[in-house]
């Protein structure tokens, strides 16, 4: 079984067909995915800004990191669950989409980031509060985290604009025509 056949089979399961074809489920799952970006992405951003000393300076680093931890985990679980539903429903559009593949690679790097910086930054935030200044390693962790998540968000958006090579299609036509018809977030009436 090739990749193409496998993802076609995933897409065609009764469950994912239901997700794809529902007038409500698909947009609601996508909206939840986006809401998680706002609420939990906001927490990631503020944690990074705290480590950089740009925001929350009157709150100890340990409070910011520890108090947000459970929410960030919850947010990640909801976000990934929504992501899997969105992927499965259109598996054949995604699995060979270069932006999707970059996004997944960046997500794996987030895991690597957590593992690398756990001992000196996230696992022992009290030490950061005791230090006279935020150590360079913690700032590096914050910068890298910001870049990774901005990259993940951007690649997620760009997935919708990739078109599989099609010799007949005029790539230089109006943007409204070249943008992917199913995925991007413009009004239906705008898709001429």
Which residues would be at the binding site for another protein (CB under 8 A)? Answer: 23, 26-28, 30-31, 34-35, 37-43, 45-46, 49, 55-59, 63-64, 67-68, 71, 150, 153-154, 157-158, 160-161, 174-176, 178-179, 184-190
Local structure of residue 190 (DSSP, 8 states): G
Nearer to another protein, 116 or 148 (CB): 148
Locate tokens 């901005």: which residue?
Answer: 150
Q: Alpha-carbon distance 147 to 143, whole Å?
A: 6
User: Residue 9 CB, nearest distance to another protein (Å)?
Assistant: 26
Number of Cβ within a 10 Å radius of residue 15 = 11
Burial of 39 (0-12, 13-18, 19+ CB in 10 A): middle
User: Residue 187 CB, nearest distance to another protein (Å)?
Assistant: 4
Nearer to another protein, 124 or 154 (CB): 154
User: Residue 5 CB, nearest distance to another protein (Å)?
Assistant: 29
Q: Is the dihedral of CA 54, 116, 151, 29 positive or negative?
A: negative
User: Residue 190 CB, nearest distance to another protein (Å)?
Assistant: 4
Local structure of residue 167 (DSSP, 8 states): T
Nearer to another protein, 8 or 178 (CB): 178
């Amino acid at each position: 079984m090739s990749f193409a056949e496998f993802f076609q089979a995933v897409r065609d399961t009764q469950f994912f067909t239901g997700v794809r074809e529902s007038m409500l489920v698909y947009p609601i799952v996508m909206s939840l995915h986006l809401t998680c970006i706002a609420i939990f992405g906001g927490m990631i951003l503020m944690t990074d800004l705290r480590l950089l000393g740009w925001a929350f300076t009157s709150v100890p680093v340990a409070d910011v990191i520890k108090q947000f931890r459970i929410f960030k985990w919850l947010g990640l679980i909801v976000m990934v669950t929504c992501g899997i539903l969105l992927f499965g429903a259109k598996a054949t559009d995604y699995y060979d989409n270069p932006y999707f593949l970059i996004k997944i690679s960046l997500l794996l790097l987030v895991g690597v980031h957590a593992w690398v910086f756990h001992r000196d930054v996230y696992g022992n935030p009290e030490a950061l509060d005791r230090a006279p200044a935020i150590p360079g390693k913690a700032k590096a962790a914050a910068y890298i985290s910001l870049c990774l998540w901005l990259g993940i968000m951007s690649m997620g958006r760009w997935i919708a604009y990739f078109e599989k090579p099609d010799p007949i299609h005029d790539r230089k036509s109006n943007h409204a025509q070249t943008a992917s018809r199913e995925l991007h977030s413009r009004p239906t009436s705008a898709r001429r």
